[in-house]
Amino acid sequence: MIYCKVSACRYSWSHTTAAHRCGTCGTEGHGQMECGNESKIQSLQVYYTDTMPANKYCRVRACPHPHRHTTEAHICSVCQELGHDTEQHCTLPAIKCPICRDMSQLDNWKETFVTGQCCICKDDTKLHISDSCRHGICKDCLEGLSTMLLWS
């Protein structure tokens, strides 16, 4: 069965169109054949609400989009490898909140659509909010903190 409608997708059985990650730009929802062509990307948007059959949902614990891919197609948020849970394979770094100093694992910082001032760089942008203390920092600063922890 084909679930991904992206042109020339090699693994169309393992994920939906919305979960396809472009090999050129890294954005989800289109592939290299569509990358940079807005009309082709827009033509794929009709498939963005498609879901996998329930018996093929990702079984990785805490996966934010289990209905969009199989377990084999799950991409680890830490190492970017396929098919495993971060708890089974990767050790997630704990990041200290710059405001209250509460320690929170990297996967506890959730991307939101809330715009606010990042407490580190002071930019007004979308924030990632900590599940534990509810403070927010921008994506760039969160990536900077996590990169320092992973390579230190």
| Extents of the domains making up the chain | 17-89, 94-150
Tokens coding 150 = 């992973």
Number of C-alpha atoms within 13 angstroms, CB side, residue 144?
8
Average pLDDT over residues 93-109: 81
Closest to 146 in 3D by CA, of 128, 125, 126: 128
- 81/91 Cα distance (integer angstroms): 13
Number of continuous H segments (helices) and E segments (strands) in the chain: 3, 5
Amino acid 86: pLDDT: 60
Flag whether the pTM goes above 0.75.
no
Q: Is the pLDDT of residue 31 over 80?
A: yes
pLDDT on residue 150: 46
* Contacts for 71 with CB less than 8 Å, ≥ 6 apart: 58, 59, 60, 83
Return the pLDDT at 152. Answer: 40
